[in-house]
Amino acid sequence: MNASLGFRRMAIALVLLSVASFAASERSAWTLVVGGVLALAATSVTDGPRRRSLPPWMLRLGVVAAIAWGTWGFVSRPSADEAPRIVGNVVLGVLLLKLWDRKSPSDWRQVIALSIVLVVAAALLSVDFLVGVLVIAYAMAIVPATMLYHLYAGAERAAEDRRAAAVRAGALAPMEAPHGAQPARHLRRMAVAGVVIGIALSSVVFLLFPRDSALGAGQGGGRRSGFRSDIALWGTGRISLSSRVAMTVRLRDPRGTPGQLMLPLRMRGSVLETYVPGAGQWRGDPSRAGDRSYQTDGSDSFVWFAPEAREERSNVWTQEVEMRSLASEHVFSAWLPLGVSCEEMRTFTIDPRTAELTETASGIVGRPRSYVIRMQAYPSPRIAKAVAGGLPPAEVGFPVPEVRAIAERVVAASPDAEIPGAEEIAADPQQRWIRNRRLASLFADWLSGPQFRYSTDLAEFRRRGGEDPVVLFLERYRFGHCEHFASALVALCRSMGVEARVVTGYMATEYDGVTDRYVFRESGAHAWAEVRTGEWQWGTFDPSPMEELLAIQRANRTWMDSFRWILDPIEFAWNSSFASFDSRAQAELSDRVSTGARGAGAWLAEQGKSIVDAANRWFRLGSAGALWLGLVGVTIAIAVVAAVVVSRRMRRAADELGARGSGVASLAALGRDAAFYLDALDALARAGLAKPPGRTPGMHVDAVRRANPEAGAAFAEVVERFYALRYGGERGTREGRAAAAALVARLRAALGRGYTSSPRAAGP
């Protein structure tokens, strides 16, 4: 084994794994291709026969440029979400530059440190399955790489000392540190042990310190992608247009026939009613007061959310959902849910005010892979009240006064809108709902007009003094993504006394005619508004420019999408059971372990008693049968322990006596005749003069003689006697064993007069 070559190979493997991890977190194939090619090219050129490298001034200039670029990026986007990405890009540039330099052991140490930082940045940016696999692979590879580094660094230091001790340059040949098969085996064993211990410790940390991650957001760091259960309008990250499939949905009409709608299919997941001014955040009701829970029995029968829903037969649609890569507690429904069915025993909760569905108490079990929803697109007031009329509707008014003035200007600029006034509403209360619909339509048309622009890059959407992000969107910037459009519509409606709320979920226009399923991708994550249009009804209004949304989704599809189905089930299991491991899952795991331990203990006790009773009945041992069986068990245990001890002694004898591969009989005979040699080695080890595994007995005699001349002379006679038995063909006799025992006693006496100061292996 060549330590230098082995370490360099492991180091470049670590670099490639770190580059792949960061590229996967960024979902950038170019980062992987360019970074990987540059890393391999640098290794080939700098470690090649001519050992070419870049000039030091060029490397320093590149490092300074990378740091300056990162500083500028952070100043232009001062967000904690962007920090891991900026640091990762800077470290990636510095790492690739460092590979083009001549590398001493300290330089290689810097390369490994940079790769570690790059992997940490990737882990902070994403919780995707592929990133997790690469990070775990890196963690496993760094253990043997660290061990090889110490061997390589030691060999380099020894070579440097050898060159410094030379009388003149070139007087000594270069030194190559040779390593035999035995050290290589030890290195592999230590590496395996290190990896196993690392995985064990990581598992313990994973179980003891859960993270409460919003996996439903399907994101990590500032690259937002997929469904979000809340909204933060100040987020400046770029929306990732990932084509990964989140779920597929088969829609069946009231006759049970699957088919495609003419309009895009929206799946509502989370309903947000509370706005925090200044912070620009939309949140749901954290108390969820009045929630109703329902338990499925694992069959295909439906659990209904109201008795009236069970009896409803008109316009009832069926929605079959199959989760692909998304694992979320939110249950997605296109319209008002009437009932739910699941092939597993699950607990579903419905908010009677918003009809928001969630799946609770999953814990370590993971999220449901599939479920079926019965629903209505346009429910009657009776059904809507029964399912989602338990609490008063959302409050009106918006906490930012400037929005009211903007709304009044928009209404004043549309004199033909025919908005019912207070007198008309007082005369006919139904005019209230007409007013709500017309105002919502007016504001939605205005927001989707040419004066507003849809954008997924919010780098220029910055804070300005104490202004609210909704006001900035409406008055100054007039660009943003669906969350800004939906927030603006709800704000305008509420400022005019119209009940409205923000809804987040998915929108899909892609339909697979082969499987009769809608395909919902992460890029289809969407936000829109719901406006109260009746006593118990809510209408959907989407102000986002539909043409731009559809163009973005079409442009984001690639030929690789056809192969995503291979990875999606694995990614769902990863997201459901690992990435979403939180405090609730930890508590469930603790309960299961404690309950399982108690159950296992009781089961073992019961099985033991059953075995004893069966043995008593079979052998008719009477009242003393249990005691007799206990004594037999103790005897068997002692025999097993003795067998283990003998096996270990024989294995040690085979190693020390060089008799690997010998038969059991010949090994036992050799162990009996040469036991004195093993006793001598034990005496030397206790005196601090242990023989290293790779050293021959004759070489160890010289080492012992340098440390203790008298003991060295005695050990030389022991070795001579051992060689005669092992290789000289001499047979062991009783007299010979007695003489060898006298030699060992002489060695012990000599060691008693010359012990070393501290236990250590004898030097070379």
305-322: pLDDT as tens digits: 988 888 888 889 999 998
**Residues 457, 556 within the same domain:** yes
- Asked, for residue 643, whether it belongs to a domain, the answer is yes
Burial class for 681, CB neighbours closer than 10 Å (0-12, 13-18, 19+) = buried
Instruction: Identify whether residues 431 and 458 lie together within a single domain.
Output: yes
Per DSSP, the residues of 320-338 read EEEESS---SEEPBSSEEE
Tell me if residue 618 falls in helix, strand or coil.
helix
Domain match, 89 and 145 both = yes
29 in a structural domain? yes
With beta carbons less than 8 A apart as the criterion, state whether 21 and 139 touch.
Answer: no
Closest CA to 88 of 107, 74, 108, 109: 74
Whether residue 741 sits in one domain with residue 691: yes
Q: Is residue 301 part of a domain?
A: no
Query: Which residues does 384 contact at the CB level (< 8 Å), separation at least 6?
Result: 336, 534, 536, 537
| Cα Rg of the chain, angstroms | 37
Structure tokens at 714: 């005695």
Q: Is residue 348 part of a domain?
A: no
pTM: predicted TM-score of the whole model, two decimal places: 0.61
In a shared domain, residues 749 and 731: yes
Angstrom distance (rounded) from CA 66 to CA 74: 12
Residues 123 and 236 both lie in one domain? no
CATH value at residue 478: 3.10.620
Q: Which residues contact 40 (CB under 8 A, 6 or more apart)?
A: 12, 16
Q: Does residue 480 sit in the same domain as residue 442?
A: yes
Where do the H-state alpha helices sit in 300-430? 307-311, 381-388, 401-412, 422-427
| Look-up of token digits 């050799």 | 670
104 and 154 together in one domain:
yes
pLDDT of residue 224: 46
Residue 604 burial (10 A CB sphere; 0-12, 13-18, 19+): exposed
Given 604, 635, 654, the domain boundary residue is 654
Could you tell me if 110 and 137 lie in one domain? yes
Strand partners of residue 331: 357
Classify residue 518: in a domain, yes or no.
yes
486 lies in the same domain as 546: yes
Give me the number of domains the chain comprises: 5
Domain span at 709: 657-761
d(CA 131, CA 136) in angstroms, rounded, equals 9
* Shared-domain flag, residues 509 and 645: no
Domain's final residue, options 654, 673, 708 = 654
- Confirm whether 387 is domain-assigned: no
Tell whether 237 and 89 lie within a shared domain.
Answer: no
Could you tell me if residue 51 is inside a domain?
A: yes
The pLDDT of residue 578 is 59
Residues 6+ positions from 287 with CB-CB distance below 8 Å: none
Q: Which secondary structure element, helix H or strand E, spans residue 712, and what is its range? A: helix 709-726
Question: Within a domain: residue 9?
Answer: yes
CB 730 within 8 A of CB 740: no
- Flag residues of the chain having pLDDT under 70: 1-3, 48-50, 77-81, 127, 165-187, 198, 202-226, 235-242, 287-289, 361-365, 390-395, 553-599, 601, 612-630, 649-668, 670-671, 753-764
